[in-house]
Amino acid sequence: MNVLKTYSRKRRGLHVNRLLRAIQRWALRTGFEVVSYGREEGYPLVSLSRHGRPGAARIYLSTGMHGDEPGGPLALLSMLHQDEFPRDLDWVICPVLNPVGLERGTRENGDGLDMNRDYHYCHIPAVLAHMIWLSQKPGFDLALLMHEDWGTKGFYLNEFKTGPVTDLDKRIISTVKNVCPIEETELIDGMPATGGIVHPFRDGNFGNQWPESFYLRDRGVATGLNFEAPSCLPLADRITAFRTALHEAVKPFQQN
Ligand SMILES: [Zn+2]
């Protein structure tokens, strides 16, 4: 399967129904349960979950928040198709948070709103549905959020955490470096960065306009990482960067 067939070059968006069908098909084939937690302009808001070994670490993964960032959903589809999600972990996945934006190729949702600034008040129905669904889940040991950045030339990540500081961020960057350039600027989105790591992830100027990561941190997620792939690179390279980062991120949580 060529996952790039769900991408429309003309409008920079995705064929979302095609994408959702493919995600569902490969998720079911690889043992995931597929549940819809809401609807948005006729599209289902889907989640995938699968249990690992008893006592497994719980990993949350989300993407498709911004519709002009197709790399995350396609990386996820590609990983499902290759049966790459490690079996020894508990997975909870939201693959397409903003289906209308992804169809249109816009950062915002169908009402022109940035969903990733609404996780404090949850005025947007799709954000509210997501938040309510998330609030019913037991806590996560690790949260991974896949985004892209149109203003940078390399991959970077930012970390939000309530748990102890580890060198996980550095290990991810040094592994991704083998497949993708790393963003080396020292100021990213107004926050200090070193070697592709925005750390500590400060609240910046968000105020009450919480992104999803703030909500997860507020819920006590021990470690969370926002992956940001550079949109200027070919889609296939962004997908490879996400897959590489994800595999490295979950390694410490896997069975030895
Ligand atoms: Zn984004």
Amino acid at 155: F
Distance 53 CA to ligand 1 centre (A): 32
Distance 231 CA to ligand 1 centre (A): 10
**Cis preceding-peptide flag for 200 (omega within 30 of 0):** yes
The answer, yes or no, to whether residue 160 has pLDDT greater than 90, is no
Give the pLDDT score at 163. Answer: 72
* Contact indicator for 36, 46 with CB cutoff of 8 Å: yes
Tally Cβ neighbours within 10 Å of residue 74. 26
Distance 70 CA to ligand 1 centre (A): 10
Q: Where do the structural domains in the chain lie, given as residue ranges?
A: 3-253
Q: What's the residue count for the chain?
A: 256
Amino acid at 204: G
Give the Cα separation of 179 and 244 in Å (integer): 8
Poorest-confidence range of 1-15, 23-37, 45-59? 1-15
Distance 31 CA to ligand 1 centre (A): 28
Distance 66 CA to ligand 1 centre (A): 5
Q: Rounded mean pLDDT of the chain? A: 93
Phi and psi at residue 109, to the nearest 5°: -85, -170
Name which of 113, 209, 189, 198 is nearest 161 in CA terms.
198
- Is 145 in a helix, a strand, or coil? strand
Name which of 93, 140, 87 is nearest 255 in CA terms.
87
pLDDT in tens, 108-124: 999 999 999 999 999 99
Terminal CA-CA length for the chain: 32
Give the pLDDT score at 141. Answer: 94
Distance 228 CA to ligand 1 centre (A): 8
Claim: this prediction has a pTM higher than 0.85:
yes
Strand order in the sheet with 197-198: 33-40, 43-50, 90-94, 58-63, 142-149, 223-230, 156-161, 197-198, 191-194, 187-188
Q: Which two tokens stand for residue 182?
A: 């790393």
The answer, yes or no, to whether residue 202 has pLDDT greater than 80, is no
Poorest-confidence range of 26-30, 73-77, 109-113, 161-165? 161-165
Residue 149 is given by DSSP the state E
Distance 83 CA to ligand 1 centre (A): 25
Name which of 98, 77, 163, 94 is nearest 134 in CA terms.
94
Distance 116 CA to ligand 1 centre (A): 8
The answer, yes or no, to whether residue 191 has pLDDT greater than 90, is no
Identify which has the larger pLDDT, 167 or 246.
246
- Is 187 in a helix, a strand, or coil? strand
Distance 145 CA to ligand 1 centre (A): 9
Q: Where are the alpha helices (DSSP H) in the chain?
A: 16-29, 71-81, 99-104, 125-135, 168-176, 212-218, 235-250
Distance 29 CA to ligand 1 centre (A): 29
Distance 130 CA to ligand 1 centre (A): 16
The CATH number of the structural domain formed by 3-253 is 3.40.630.10
Give the pLDDT score at 175. Answer: 98
